[in-house]
Every structure is written in structure tokens, then in C-alpha cells.
Amino acid sequence: MTDGPSLTKGGPEQPLVAYFSMEIGIDPGMPTYAGGLGVLAGDTIRSAADLDIPMVAVTLLHRRGYFYQRLDEQGWQREEPVAWPINDFCHPLSQHVTVEIENRTVRVGAWQIRVRGETGGEVPVYLLDTDLPDNEPWDRTLTDMLYGGDDRYRLCQEVVLGFGGYRLLRALGYNHIRRFHLNEGHAALLVLALLEEKLASRSTEEQVPADLIDAVREQCVFTTHTPVPAGHDQFPQDLARRVLGDRRCLWLDACLQDQSLNMTRLALRGSRFVNGVAMKHGEVSTSLFPGYPIHSITNGVHAVTWAAPSFQLLFDRRLPDWRRDQLSLRYAIGIPVQEIWEAHAVAKQALIDYVNREANAGFDRDVLTIGCARRATAYKRSTLIFHDVDRLVSIAERAGPLQLVFAGKAHPRDHEGKQMIRRIHEMRQTLRDKIGVVYLPNYDITLARLLCAGSDVWLNTPLPPTEASGTSGMKAAINGVPSLSVLDGWWIEGHAEDVTGWSIGNREPGKELDQDLDAVHAAELYRKLDEKILPLFYGERDHFLEIMRHAIALNGGFFNTQRMVLQYLHKAYRLTGDYARRG
């Protein structure tokens, strides 16, 4: 391989979209992501490569990953750093650029990996790296840990991503980029990097002319990913001043009329198109940030990545175009249900074997298996199914046996999240001989593939409206696994009762708000299990299979990143002119 983008078709003059993300799940062997945001970024890039969209992506290297999650005897999470063989995946570049951090000059290098699509398209991804001998020891650690360290560490990382990423693209000769896509607020300093370049061509450095901000806006597209206020990066004014310096704080002032640094506001101010990640999330974000029109482009998943091997074979046989054209999953409606059941049985066996091998759980392949994997944090409410343990046990005794498999990491500083993991872990003992319960450690892409495809029902119980979209239920749907979920995020769009799965709670929770929402939702969860899901699974298998088939045809056919990337292309990037003229 050679340096730079020269091997991509057309060279660096070609890419028109630069996608910036703090985390990207590029390969299951690269721990360069923490969870949903990074997996979505990876799926986006894979679909862009499939569609041969002229895109380049930028992220940080994360030499020590997010963390490896170990669970001790009591179910308490221990975090361990991950070492991964960078050279096995990425190619080092000789180009370096510099960024100013706290009045120091920090050198930034990069590694490259190419993501190849189904039909020969390619998206180069650059992973920024400050572990260079010229840098001070602390600066060398800046691209080590994803979401590690304190505010100062995080802000410095965001300088590396926004300024370092932009300068690297320039150094590599990417001079024709028309749109910069900020995937979440972490990338917002890109707005200042673009502004800086435009300012350099004017004599004035003190005043920021409004037309320059408009020119930056013309180039940027911003996707916001969480309706939870704590999820939006914010830095105190004195820290911003220390890290960025007076000059860049002046620009901030011009953009925000406020020298404290709210990354979401900066990205909103600097972008021509802003979107939330599901219909409802777009609405919630509009009310969080009045004054900005916020659109919705609902997330998806990369179908080929998330279809289990047995479903890949089935689709290859029955829907031969599905790898190139994910709309053809709609025609799963014509696949005989028995073939879906057979493909599912293979995926389920793989999960059951894993659970029994790793957790010695004695799971039975004929028992209804419910999967639930989420970041372990309070508002995701993964313990909701244990709200009334006696009721759950009596349902299993009367309507049919149950097995529950959980996974998910807690952020290292989220004590409550860690308590939730421990509580679920304890349920294994509490419910022994009555209901099988396991908490599998170290939820990652490889485990998500097994879990989403191998469960019979995918459970999701967040406190609405905190789920921006959710994507694991989409991974399940591709594999014919219906969801039992609170009506929030994508499920508002994907749910058709008894057709694609089952709801918990109302679409507009207004009526429920004065009640104990946990109790209301738990009662409905139990009722659906008792009256619908268990009787169907054990007594009306053909009806259950019909629901599995609809999950693929109705939801797999829509909630995929091929549809999502095309929506970005048409609604957000709007490059149709250049794109069509290309080549």
C-alpha cells in the first residue's frame, strides 16, 4: 500500500463528503468504538462503500480501546484496557500535521484503513494518532482511550479530531470536500477549523464576519444522537480558554454569543442541515433546541453485517440481490416460513452453545429465549423485567418456560449502571431452576451478532423519551427476531402490534406521566408475555413465524443503513449535481 488516498478510485479529488466521528466500529477486531454510536458510524461507512458514495472518514485511533469488561463473581464490572494489533488492520501514513493545544504544538499522525463495499466502492478511514516521539508524554496519550479521562482530556481529544482531522485531510490533498458530516457533537470543533481557514484569507482576525460563518454552515451537516441532556458535551469557559486559547475563544464568542463551550450548540450553529436519528427524536431535539429546524433521518443497520450466516444463505438463495439492494428484503414476505424457522434454529443454536460454554448456564434450545443488551445505565431500565419477580415466575410456570440473556457495559464512572448489572447477575441465583438468567460479559459487535440473531424475542425497556433511536432491535429484525419494546425511538415507526412485534406503553406517554411508569410498563410487559408471546411461541407456532417474516420484510427492508445513507445523500448532503457529473 502507498501513503495517502492515491489508491482510491479517482484519488483525493474525488471524495465529496468527509464523515467525522469520535468512534467508529470498523472491524470486530478493532475496539475503536464503545457502543451504538460507533457501530452506527461503521454501518454508515459500509453502506456508503456499497453505494460507491465518494466519502472519507476520520476518527481517533484509540490504542487502548474503550475497555474490556470483566464481571467478577458478584457480577461487579471490572474494566481492563485492551491492546490490539494496529498493524494487522491499519496502514501507517508518513504525513503528520500539528494542532495547538494549551499553547503547545502537538503533532498528529494517522493510520489508514479502507472499507470495501459489495460492488468495489471504497471509503478510506483515517485514524488519528498522537503517540509520536516528538510529543510530550501526556499528549502522546491523547488518542489512547475512548471516553476515558476527565473534561480536559476529552476536550483535547476533540481538538485532535476537529482540527487535526481537518488539517490531515488538507495535507493528504482532499481539497474538494463539499460536505463535512459531524456525527454527534464531539466533532463540533471542525466548525472552528473551517472558520479558521476562511479567516486566514481575510486580514481581520479579531472580528468574525457573519458571511464566513454562513460559508462554514454551507459545508456542514450535523447528526445529534441523544435526547438526554447529560449526553451533550459541555465544557466550562476557563477550560475552553486554556485548551483552545484566546483567539479561538473569540471565534466561539462570535458563533455562540457565549464563551462556554456546548458542542451541540456549536454544531447546530455551524451546520446547514441538522437531524435527529428517528422521527420522535427529531421532534424531541427541536424542543430541546428551539430556533433550529431539526429534521429526522431514522437510523439503520448494515444488513449484510448483521444477518447471521444462516440468514445470509437463506437470503442469497431467496433474494439474490439483497447484498446490493436492501429494499429487496421487502420480498422476504415470499419466503416460506419453514425456511425462516430453520435459519433461526441455526442462529439460536449458536447463541445457546455460546451461553452454555461461556456461562455454564444449561440453556435449552427449545425454550423461548429473550435477549436484552443495552448500555447499562439507569434510563435504559434493563432490570424492568424483574420489577415483580413473583409474577414473572408464575407466568413462566403457567404459560411456558423462559430464558433471559443480558449483556452491556456500564460507563466506568456510572455506579448505578454497575449496580444494575450486579442485580441482573444476582437474578441467576434468585431464579435458579425457575427461569434461566445470564449476563454475558464484554458486549461487543461479535457478541451482538450472536445475541440479536439467536434470541427469539428482543426486549427493550428504556424510559421514554430517552431512546434516540436504538439499533439492536433492527439487527434482530433483519434476522426475523421480533421486538417487545417500549414505544420510543425507532420502534414508534417499526411497531405494528402482532405483526412485527409487541409494544409496551403508549406512544404518547402523557397519560401515564402521573403514574409510576416502571410499574405501568412492567405490568404491560408481563401481560404481553403471558397473553400473547408465550401462547404464540408454544401453541401457535405458525402465527409466531408469520411475525418473524414480517419483521424481516417490513422492518429489515426499511431500517437498514442503505436506505439511511440514501436519505442523507438526498436530504442532507444534496450533492446530486456534483455526484452525477463525477466520472
Ligand X SMILES: *Cc1c(COP(=O)(O)O)cnc(C)c1O
Which residues contact ligand X (rule: CB under 6 A)?
35-36, 39, 374, 443-445, 448, 470-472, 475
Q: Work out whether strand 261-262 and strand 234-235 pair parallel, antiparallel, or are unpaired.
A: antiparallel
Alpha-carbon span 511 to 468, nearest angstrom: 21
Tell me the backbone φ, ψ of residue 262, rounded to 5 degrees: -105, 110
Minimum CB–partner distance for residue 140 and ligand X (Å): 28
Contacts for 239 with CB less than 8 Å, ≥ 6 apart: 151, 152, 155, 261
Residue partners of 545: CB distance under 8 A and separation at least 6: 337, 338, 340, 341
* Least gap, CB of 376 to ligand X (angstroms): 11
DSSP string, 264-287: HHHHHHT-SEEEESSHHHHHHHHH
Query: Which of 36, 109 has the CB closer to ligand X?
Result: 36
Nearer of residues 33 and 315 to ligand X, judged by Cβ = 33
CB of 252 to ligand X, least distance (A): 32
Min separation Cβ 444 and ligand X, Å: 5
3-state secondary structure of 502: strand
Of the pair 30, 99, the CB lying nearest ligand X is at 30
CB of 39 to ligand X, least distance (A): 4
Cα distances (Å, whole numbers) of residue 144 to 31, 129, 164:
11, 8, 15
**Which lies closer to ligand X via its Cβ, residue 135 or residue 223?**
223
Minimum distance between the CB of residue 156 and ligand X, rounded to whole angstroms?
26
Element (DSSP H or E) covering residue 440: strand 436-440
Nearest distance in Å: CB 342, ligand X:
25
Closest approach, Cβ 260 to ligand X, in A, equals: 30
Q: What's the Cα-to-Cα distance from 535 to each of 255, 338, 398, 403, 544, rounded to whole Å?
A: 58, 19, 10, 15, 9
- Choose between 310 and 466: whose C-beta lies nearer to ligand X: 466
CA distance 506 to 487: 6
Task: Return all residues near 488 (Cβ < 8 A) that are at least 6 apart.
Answer: 280, 462, 464, 465, 466, 467, 470
The nearer residue to ligand X, 359 or 445, going by C-beta atoms, is: 445
Q: Which is nearer to ligand X, 143 or 472 (CB)?
A: 472
The minimum distance between CB 445 and ligand X, in angstroms, equals 5
Decide whether 124 or 408 has the Cβ nearer to ligand X: 408
Nearer to ligand X (CB atom), residue 335 or residue 477: 477
CB 461 within 8 A of CB 385: yes
Per DSSP, the residues of 50-94 read HTT--EEEEEE--TT-S-EEEE-TT--EEEE-----HHHH-EE-S
What number of H helices and E strands is found in the chain? Answer: 24, 20
